[in-house]
Structure 1
Amino acid sequence: MSFNVLTACFTHESNTFNKRSAGYNAFTKYFVYFGDDAIKKLGHVNAELAGFCDCARDYGWKQTHVLSAAAEPAGVVTRDAFDRLGGAIINAAGVHKEKLDGILLAFQGAMVTEFCEDGEGELLERLRAVVGPDMPIAITLDPHSNVTQKMCELADIMVSYKTYPHVDMRETGRHAGAILYRTMKGEIRPRTLRAHRPLLSEVNGGRTDAGPMVERIAKAIAYEQEPGVLAVNINAGFAYADIREIGPTVTVTYDGNEDKHRAFAEEIADDIWKKRFDVINSYLSVEEAAKIAQAYARGTGPLIIADYADNPGAGAYGDSTNLLKAMIEAGIEDAAFGPMVDAETAKHLHGHTLGDRVQVQLGGKCDPSFGGGPLELEGEVCLISDGSYTCDGAMYGGMSFSWGKTAVLRVKGIDILVVSEPAQILDLQQFRAFGIDPAAKTVVGLKSMQHFRAAFEPIAGEVIVCDSGALTTPNCEKLAFRNVPRPIFPLDREMKI
């Protein structure tokens, strides 16, 4: 039996402390692909859509893909962007609803709009108003979702990635599609339950390569083999959204009796709470990181210094200068650093030719109170580029992006990647495409929390993590939360439940 399935991808991770909202142009700068164009671009890479397309081929579906749209994490999504992109999905559902058998959507799970805290819940509510309560809807989520009760009530099926770095996005799309297929055939009637604990986020941000999440994920995969269990999702939450339904959740999509599955979800949620002090990373100051770099003797590979706090992939501005300043003052040479998101300086450098000596005010322009103000520097222009690159790593291999106007500025032995558009470092080509080979350097400073590990740990001699004091600092007490329910950990460290 052939089924008609509507698919779409609409994702954004909204850092409500970021002053720059995500308008429609923010999505088009990253990617907005409609219909078959989206399938051509994303149907063969590590993306949920590729998993959706796998299911369409394997199960003989007629697939109607509406759009794939994403923007780099930033502030809240504007009403215009939400209505135009989300509205396209709603409109397509209305046009095709008489022929549809199911809907399959890829969400991030932490979208906040300028008019509501739960972007995904809002979109699902609008969708239900069009297709009714009986149409099976499956969604995929990033593990950094703030999963709301509304999302669980309005989506029949929920499947999250189980890896961070996220190397299983395509697999997750296939998983969700397989459950949807069984639902459309009438074999199962899935529902999703939710367990939650009062934390801003799982203490290690959901890291799955080390620490307590390794065992939790193993238990989740094992439990998915139990009768009636369709998907177990452990979502770390997203700490940089000042909303009411924030924090880590355990959800189970199941068929049949709830009680047993509820007990399992609560057990995992209890473990997240009990281990809330078990931090894996040692968050060094930038001065401590620079001192280690100063003494580093290159052996098997470079020293990788990850600036956790200025991660554009979690909505930081990417223009924090504190780590770069510490590296320069420590006299670090044979080094690379990036990205420094500074469109003004990138444009200025594009007015020069290779080899020019220039003076610039670099970085620190968005909010100097988070991560440091502009640096007065003199350096040599080593490269001018339009910023285009194609990833070749485990996460985004085959996908093309652009930093916008880009330049490489060499300052006292440090090659600085100066870009116009924010994105975290997660692929070696983000340096190599611009003449910098990170594997050949002694020290590499980069802006990322965890995703860099998939590409950079294999080339690294050592990896350290620092807190530059920028917008995604692990010290969340520095952020002005107003809407989260109190008490909540770690803002209220002595609280009990």
Structure 2
Amino acid sequence: MTFRVLTAEFVHETNTFSVRKTDYDAFAVEGIRFGEDAVRVRGEANTEIAGFLDIGRKYHWTIQHVVSAGAEPAGPVTRDAFDRIGGAIVQAAKDRKGDLDGIMLGLHGAMVTDFSPDGEGELLERLRAVVGPDLPIAVTLDPHANVTAKMCQHADILISFKTYPHIDMRDTARHAGELLQRTMAGEIDPKTFLVRRPMLEEANAGRTDIGPMVGWIAEARAYETMPGALAVSINGAFPYADISEVGATVLVTYDGDCASHQAFAESIATKIWDDRFNVLNTFHTVEAAAEIARAYNDDRPLIIADYADNPGAGAYGDATNLLEALLDAGVHDACFGPIVDPETALQLHRSAVGETVQLALGGKTDARFGGGPLKVAAKLVHISDGKLIGDGPMMGGLELNFGPTAVIQIEGIAILVVTEPSQMYDLQQFRAFGIDPASHRVVGLKSMQHFRAAFEPIAGKVIVCDSGALCTMDYARMPYGNVPRPIFPLDRDMII
């Protein structure tokens, strides 16, 4: 039998503290692609739609792909954007009601809208209202999902990626597709439950390259071979969402009796809680990071990652504290990026390559978080439309777009100035603009963890710092008002 499956990707990780709302135009920056256009661009990369299509070919499904849309993390998604993109998915399901055997969705799990704290739950609820309670729905999630009860209520299958950096998005989609195939064939009747602990996030943001998560993921994979255990997902959560259902969760998608799997989920959740003080990273001050960079001497570069100004978590990407510290320390033979500053990018595009330009660089969104504008004289080295194609483990083959982009030289540092925010997770984000990070002694970049997949192989050493930008690790600085209290680490002495 040939099954008929509706697919879509609709992804946003919402930083509720950001002043920048995520409207329809914000999704358009990365591309709102419908139908075959989405398949053409994303269908052979490390994406969920690629995994959906792999399973569709294997089992000869008839697939209708509705839309692929994602925006860089920022403030709440507007009702207009949600209704236009999510509405297209719901309308397609409505139009084919009675003619579908299943639905597969690539979501994130941490979307907040300006009218709902639970964007994914809202979308799934609207779909259920259209297709009824029996049509199976499978969902892939980012492991930084803040999974809600409503998501579990309305989706039969929920599976999160098991790697951070996320190099298994396609594989996870295949896993979800296999389970959907078995569901549509009547072999299983899956459901998903969650276990939560009162913490904003797992102690190490869910990183899977080192630390205790390595063992927990191994336990999850082993448990998935047990009878009735279809998928186990461990979600480190996204702490910059001021919502009631924030925090680390363990999900089990199962067939049969839920009770038999509850103990395993609780055991992993307890390990996450018990490990809450075990932070692996040393978060250097910008001054300390700059001093390490000044003294660094190795054949391969020192990578300095500013966790706090990571656009991939909704930070503005225009913090200047780290760059200022590097300049003050006289660091040379270095590159740095990105500084998200549309105003300066436009100014540079009106200048001539080789010209020395007086700039007020960065720090224009909110100087309280990461520093204000730097008044500098910079030599313009390169200008570009900002378009590139990634070639790394995460983004290989995918189109990226920084918008109008320039490279400037200030003393010993080459600096990438861009219009559109994006964290650094692919070497082409430097190389496409004439900067080879492997040839520099020091590389400063804005990212939390995803940079490691592409940049660790060229690095002699990696350090991280907290510049005090919007994604600071000092959560006490953030004006939480909706998270349940007590919650760790806002209430560090709490017990459960």
Scaled to the shorter chain, the TM-score interval is: over 0.9
Structure 2 SS opposite 1:257: coil
Residue 477 of structure 1: CA displacement?
Answer: 1.0
Give distance in 2, aligned partners of 1:306 and 1:328.
16
1:148 is the counterpart of 2:160: no
Matches for 1:423-434 after TM superposition, within 5 Å: 423-434=422-433
Deviation per CA, 1:280-322: give whole Å up to 9, x if none. Answer: 00000000000000100022x1000000000000000000000
1:100 is the counterpart of 2:95: no
Structure-1 residue corresponding to 2:386:
387
Structure-1 residue corresponding to 2:372:
373
Structure-1 residue corresponding to 2:13:
13
Letter in 1 for 2:427: L
Deviation per CA, 1:435-469: give whole Å up to 9, x if none. Answer: 00000000000000000000000000000000000
Residue 97 of structure 1: CA displacement?
Answer: 1.5
Structure-2 residue corresponding to 1:275:
275
Structure 2 SS opposite 1:27: helix
Letter in 2 for 1:174: R
Give distance in 1, aligned partners of 2:473 and 2:216.
22
1:179 is the counterpart of 2:179: yes
Matches for 1:117-132 after TM superposition, within 5 Å: 117-132=117-132
Matches for 1:13-92 after TM superposition, within 5 Å: 13-92=13-92
Letter in 1 for 2:130: V
Letter in 2 for 1:200: L
Give distance in 2, aligned partners of 1:332 and 1:31.
38
Give distance in 2, aligned partners of 1:166 and 1:436.
25
Structure-1 residue corresponding to 2:329:
330
Give distance in 2, aligned partners of 1:102 and 1:384.
47
Letter in 1 for 2:246: I
Give distance in 1, aligned partners of 2:80 and 2:403.
24
Give distance in 2, aligned partners of 1:400 and 1:42.
9
Structure-1 residue corresponding to 2:135:
135
Letter in 1 for 2:469: A
Structure-2 residue corresponding to 1:342:
341
Structure 2 SS opposite 1:496: coil
Deviation per CA, 1:241-285: give whole Å up to 9, x if none. Answer: 000000000000000111121110000000000000000000000
Structure 2 SS opposite 1:436: coil
Letter in 2 for 1:411: I
Structure-2 residue corresponding to 1:308:
307
1:398 is the counterpart of 2:397: yes
Letter in 1 for 2:353: L
Letter in 2 for 1:306: A
Give distance in 1, aligned partners of 2:335 and 2:173.
36
Query: What is the count of residue pairs matched by the alignment?
Result: 496
Give distance in 1, aligned partners of 2:349 and 2:68.
32
Residue 193 of structure 1: CA displacement?
Answer: 1.0
1:457 is the counterpart of 2:456: yes
Residue 413 of structure 1: CA displacement?
Answer: 1.1
Residue 494 of structure 1: CA displacement?
Answer: 0.3
Give distance in 2, aligned partners of 1:202 and 1:157.
23
Structure-2 residue corresponding to 1:359:
358
Give distance in 2, aligned partners of 1:293 and 1:260.
53
Two-structure CA RMSD over aligned residues (Å): 0.5
Structure 1 SS opposite 2:381: strand
1:251 is the counterpart of 2:251: yes
Q: What is the TM-score with the length of structure 2 in the denominator?
A: 1.00
Structure 1 unpaired stretches of 5+: none
Q: What is the TM-score with the length of structure 1 in the denominator?
A: 0.99
Give distance in 2, aligned partners of 1:105 and 1:400.
21
Structure-2 residue corresponding to 1:260:
260
Give distance in 2, aligned partners of 1:106 and 1:475.
31
Structure 2 SS opposite 1:365: coil
Give distance in 1, aligned partners of 2:398 and 2:254.
34
Structure 2 SS opposite 1:261: helix
Letter in 1 for 2:73: P
Letter in 1 for 2:98: E
Structure-2 residue corresponding to 1:470:
469
Residue 114 of structure 1: CA displacement?
Answer: 0.1
- Give the share of equivalent positions with the same residue, in percent: 63
Residue 55 of structure 1: CA displacement?
Answer: 0.8
Give distance in 2, aligned partners of 1:112 and 1:390.
29
Residue 29 of structure 1: CA displacement?
Answer: 0.5
Give distance in 2, aligned partners of 1:324 and 1:4.
53
Residue 328 of structure 1: CA displacement?
Answer: 0.1
Structure-2 residue corresponding to 1:222:
222
Structure-2 residue corresponding to 1:291:
291
Give distance in 2, aligned partners of 1:35 and 1:400.
17
Give distance in 2, aligned partners of 1:394 and 1:350.
32
Give distance in 2, aligned partners of 1:477 and 1:47.
35
Give distance in 1, aligned partners of 2:193 and 2:29.
36
Structure-2 residue corresponding to 1:166:
166
Deviation per CA, 1:123-163: give whole Å up to 9, x if none. Answer: 00000000000000000000000000110111000111000
Give distance in 2, aligned partners of 1:98 and 1:205.
42
Structure-2 residue corresponding to 1:421:
420
Give distance in 1, aligned partners of 2:259 and 2:253.
13
1:189 is the counterpart of 2:182: no
Letter in 1 for 2:146: N
Letter in 1 for 2:374: L
Give distance in 2, aligned partners of 1:37 and 1:357.
42
